[in-house]
Amino acid sequence: MTDTERLQTLDQQHVWHPYTPTDDYLKTKPLVIDHGEGVYLVDSEGNRYLDGGSSLGVNIHGHQRPELNEALAAQAAKVAHTTLYGMTHPGAAELAERLVRLAPEGIDKVLFLETGSSAVETAMKMAYSYWVFKGAPQRNKFVSMTGAFHGDTMGALSVGQMTILKNFYQPLLRETSAFAQPYCYRCTLCQDNCTLACADTLEEVLEREGDQVAAVLIEPRVQNVSGMIVARDGHLGRVAEIAKKHGVLLIADELGVGFGRTGKMFACEADGVTPDILCVGKGLTGGYMPLAATMATAEVFDAFRGDGKMLLSGHTYSGNPLSVAVALASLELFEKDDVVRRAQEMSVILAEELAKFRPVPHVGDIRQCGMLAAVELVEDQETREPFPWDVGVAGRITDRCKELGLIIHSAPNDTIVIVPPLAMTDEELRTMMGILLQATRDVVGSLAS
């Protein structure tokens, strides 16, 4: 038995993998990733793969960046963990100040957490507590967009609106309301003559039940997990305006879009919106450590002052010093490498590469916002009819990509999602998109035969 086979066996005997069909996985010989090198992942047999999904949207500066490795080692030599309950540490104070400087004007406070789900969950508790302290405890409902994904703990799942998760967990979840997502390709509201009617459906929801609503949640600009659904300019502004008109808090979940992905540091900037509460994570540490934050305006924070009031929420590892140290080093790299400007430059190349998919049979929609993109495949390009789910077109394409040296993921509706590490060179980005194009052509060709 080779070392790889031994690890595969141990894994299949004991590791339970998230969001992975059990029997299919047990039939495969799983990939064992041994290490990373820049924008490549290298398996235990020495095969190299471009990390085309940025290891679930977290990798910004590439793997094994010396500056990030050094920051971790330096912090480990001081203290690996200490709490933020009633005390602080230097990194937390420095990072909070830095994040406030980067965030939209008006965001002033930072609560550290570990994951996106916990950041969203905390934002919900924060919004509800805000209304309790303001004397309106009946405001305990949440509204989010159809297709939304905000994480997979119970609260976060409740405000998620992806059918597959919602249908399965429904009996365990809180009731929430939804307004229409900006899915232009499948729009039934204003179709090709966009008036942002999708955003206006929020108005109907809030007219009906606004006085019971604590907050509206939105993934600004791009809904990631449901397949890179890209909102038009002005969409976020319209949603923010409607929420404000009804006196409801706005929670922007920038887990998927923050830290340069859309060509801005934060996606809210594009529409000049300051949400009341802002959730960030994923790329915060450049993909090194789990760290997230729920940020808020001073107006939200001030509701928690006086009479022994506090936010009744927090986790053991919130603000872990190792994570915070690497986040500070990552933000230094943002400046040193001019990451946001670089993302804007690369998005032009990405657009050129995406255009090559247009003539491929079965390519339905191509979406892009900065360095986030998607290719949606359909059975019938005229009617936009999806493939029957059991054809598994997107899965076949991602499998073929793996054979060709690219790790990339799919989303519902046979959509391939493209989330390149922002440290890619132009050449690496073109190579990655070339592999995806070839894999798409191969799979589409095999359907015809």
Ligand X SMILES: Cc1ncc(COP(=O)(O)O)c(C=O)c1O
Binding residue positions for pyridoxal 5'-phosphate: 116-117, 253, 315-316
Residues 6+ apart with CB under 8 A from 215: 123, 124, 127, 142, 143, 243, 248, 249, 250, 251, 276, 277
Q: What angle do CA 384, 397, 230 make, to 5 degrees?
A: 50
Q: Which helix (H) or strand (E) holds 440?
A: helix 426-448
Least Å distance, CB 254 to ligand X, is 8
Figure out which of the listed residues 36, 52, 116, 220 binds ligand X, where binding follows CB under 6 A: 116
Interface size with ligand X, residues (CB under 6 A): 14
Mark the segment that binds ligand X (CB under 6 A) among 90-98, 113-121, 177-185, 197-205: 113-121
Figure out which of the listed residues 36, 53, 220, 256 binds ligand X, where binding follows CB under 6 A: 256
Least Å distance, CB 150 to ligand X, is 5
Which residue's CB is nearer to ligand X, number 315 or number 384? 315
Mark the segment that binds ligand X (CB under 6 A) among 25-33, 125-133, 148-156, 424-432: 148-156
- 320 near ligand X (CB under 6 A): no
- 176 near ligand X (CB under 6 A): no
Which residue's CB is nearer to ligand X, number 59 or number 117? 117
Which residue's CB is nearer to ligand X, number 92 or number 417? 417
CB closest to ligand X, residue no = 116
> What are phi and psi for residue 33, nearest 5 degrees?
-80, 125
- 120 near ligand X (CB under 6 A): yes
Which candidate, 53, 62, 42, places its Cα nearest to that of 342?
62
Least Å distance, CB 291 to ligand X, is 10
Token pair in block for residue 400:
């073929």
d(CA 229, CA 208) in angstroms, rounded, equals 27
d(CA 259, CA 361) in angstroms, rounded, equals 34
- 224 near ligand X (CB under 6 A): yes
Which residue's CB is nearer to ligand X, number 267 or number 346? 267
d(CA 199, CA 231) in angstroms, rounded, equals 10
Token pair in block for residue 127:
């919004």
Figure out which of the listed residues 62, 147, 281, 321 binds ligand X, where binding follows CB under 6 A: 281
- 417 near ligand X (CB under 6 A): no
SS3 annotation, 118-147 = HHHHHHHHHHHHHHHHCCCCCCCEEEEECC
Least Å distance, CB 142 to ligand X, is 14
Strand duo 33-37 + 40-43: pairing: antiparallel
Task: Tell me how crowded residue 380 is: count the other CB atoms within 10 A of its CB.
Answer: 11
Under rule CB under 6 A, which residues in 45-74 are in contact with ligand X? none
d(CA 406, CA 425) in angstroms, rounded, equals 15
Which residue's CB is nearer to ligand X, number 228 or number 439? 228
d(CA 222, CA 124) in angstroms, rounded, equals 20
Mark the segment that binds ligand X (CB under 6 A) among 11-19, 249-257, 364-372, 385-393: 249-257
Least Å distance, CB 24 to ligand X, is 21
Mark the segment that binds ligand X (CB under 6 A) among 94-102, 205-213, 219-227, 315-323: 219-227
Figure out which of the listed residues 50, 225, 322, 443 binds ligand X, where binding follows CB under 6 A: 225
Least Å distance, CB 257 to ligand X, is 7
Which residue's CB is nearer to ligand X, number 253 or number 365? 253
Binding residues for substrate, by number, are 282, 314
Sheet containing strand 213-218, strands side by side? 107-113, 292-297, 277-280, 249-253, 213-218, 141-145, 177-179
Calculate the alpha carbon distances from 175 to 63, 121, 136, 139 in Å.
41, 15, 19, 13
Least Å distance, CB 280 to ligand X, is 10
Say if residues 107 and 143 touch (Cβ distance below 8 Å).
no
Mark the segment that binds ligand X (CB under 6 A) among 84-92, 144-152, 173-181, 426-434: 144-152
Which candidate, 260, 268, 270, 313, places its Cα nearest to that of 420?
260
Least Å distance, CB 16 to ligand X, is 16
Mark the segment that binds ligand X (CB under 6 A) among 79-87, 96-104, 146-154, 414-422: 146-154
Residues 6+ apart with CB under 8 A from 301: 108, 109
- 411 near ligand X (CB under 6 A): no
Question: Where does this chain bind ligand X (CB under 6 A)?
Answer: 115-117, 120, 149-151, 219, 224-225, 253, 255-256, 281
